[in-house]
Amino acid sequence: MKAADLRQKTDAELMELLVDCYREQFNLRMQKAIGQLSKVHQIPQNRRRIARIYTILTERGIRK
C-alpha cells in the first residue's frame, strides 16, 4: 500500500492496519522458521509497510 493511500485513512484505520501488519509479521516469521515461507520478499515488504504507517502517524502527531 502506498503512502498516498495510507494518508487517506483515518487514525483509527491506521492503528487497526498496524495491528494487522504486526500479526502478519509474526505469521511470516513463524512460516520462515518452519520452512513453509516460499515468498521471502514479503518480510521486508511488511516491515516497510509498518514503517510507512508509523511515519504517517508521526506526521499527524499521534505518535511521538
Q: What is the CATH number of the domain that holds 44?
A: 1.10.287.310
Report pLDDT for 41. 96
Predicted local distance difference test score (pLDDT) of residue 64: 54
**6 falls in which pLDDT band (50, 70, 90)?**
very high
Identity of the amino acid at 16? E
Q: Which residues of 7-46 are buried (b: 16+ CB within 10 A; e: fewer)?
A: eeeeeeebeebbeebeebbeebeebeeeeebeeeebbeeb
Distance of CA 60 to the CA centre of its chain: 17
Domain extent for 20: 3-60
> pLDDT by residue (tens digit) across 12-59?
999 999 999 999 999 999 999 999 999 999 999 999 999 999 999 999
Number of compact structural domains in the chain: 1
Please tell me the predicted confidence (pLDDT) of residue 62: 81
Whole-prediction pTM: 0.88
How far apart CA 53 and CA 6 sit, in angstroms, is: 7
d(CA 41, CA 32): 11
pLDDT number for residue 1: 78
